[in-house]
Amino acid sequence: MDFRRLRYFHAVAKAGSFSRAATEIDIAQPALSRQIKQLEDELGALLFYRDGRGVHLTPAGELLIAFADSMIDGSARVAREIRALGGAPQASLSLGVLPSLSTALLEPLVVRLHERHPGIRLNVREAMSGTMMNLLQDGKVDIAVVYEGRMPSSIVAEHLLADAVCLVRRPRQDGIASVSGAMLERLPLVMPCRNHGIRQLAETQLTARNLRLDVRFEIDSVPTMKRLVATTDLATLLTYGAVAEEVRTGELEALPLVEPALERRLALATSGVRIDAANRIVVRAVQSVVHEIAQSQHWTAPARFARAF
């Protein structure tokens, strides 16, 4: 099938008129009509119904337009990637980040991209993992850092990091080095709402042991929860990575959980639709920055370093 004729067919189908398509692609209308007729003869099928208001796709045309869309979009993407090999990629992308990770991740990530890839414009959105999956499926973010779990078939996800869940509180000299489920049950907590991943994980594990969390306040804001536990006798459950900097400065204390021990596994996810050179640059940058932070701040080491998309 001649690709030029396929492009002509695509232009007519989108314009809904031979005359409008001819003007848009700068070709004489009789020549355009001849090319479409030759394509119909080649395929042995009528592609358009013609009437006084323009043209409409036949069933054969509907089948061909889906193929034409993918071919033309694919050729444009390949052209962009080839051009990118000869220079800096120029693209605008959207990255979704969990609130618990944004403080540690965003500054070094933005600095790296700004210094090494100035042609990439990045829009960052912050949301809980469940909301982030919806944004990714709806095409509102291109790449997202989410918690691993059951993924829709349209999502491509790679393991990024395993991070321990800890009891977070203000530092105290009480000799406690770790927290069991039985101890956790007696502590007043500020936690995110029930649809938050860490809360679901903790409640599932404690319920299996006939224990329950004493949640006094529900707040879907990681920075607010951290400020509250730093200034009151409340505690919360967060991954170590979410509080590594505050632990380093002595503002907060993170105690490991035992019986049960809990961890969250982070993944880097895309919709699988738009994996071009710019996307791969951002993916590799996120992988590298997370790996470096995990090593420097002694997060749980990655089970395996994610392969490039």
pLDDT over threshold 70, residue 308: no
Alpha-carbon span 54 to 232, nearest angstrom: 71
**Residue 263 corresponds to which tokens in the numbers above?**
């961890």
Alpha-carbon span 215 to 31, nearest angstrom: 73
Q: What is the pLDDT of residue 278?
A: 82
- Which positions ≥6 away from 73 have C-beta within 8 Å? none
Alpha-carbon span 238 to 36, nearest angstrom: 62
pTM of structure: 0.59
Q: What percent of the chain has pLDDT over 90?
A: 35
Does domain 90-309 fall under CATH 3.30.2350.10? My reply is no
Q: How many CB atoms lie within 10 A of CB 176?
A: 12
pLDDT category of residue 298 using cuts at 50, 70 and 90: low
pLDDT over threshold 90, residue 58: yes
pLDDT category of residue 83 using cuts at 50, 70 and 90: low
Q: What is the pLDDT of residue 124?
A: 93
Q: Write the CATH number of the domain with boundaries 3-85.
A: 1.10.10.10
Model confidence pLDDT, tens digit, residues 186-240: 999 999 888 777 888 899 999 999 999 999 999 988 899 999 999 999 999 998 8
Domain ranges of the chain: 3-85, 90-309
Q: What is the pLDDT of residue 89?
A: 65
pLDDT category of residue 52 using cuts at 50, 70 and 90: confident
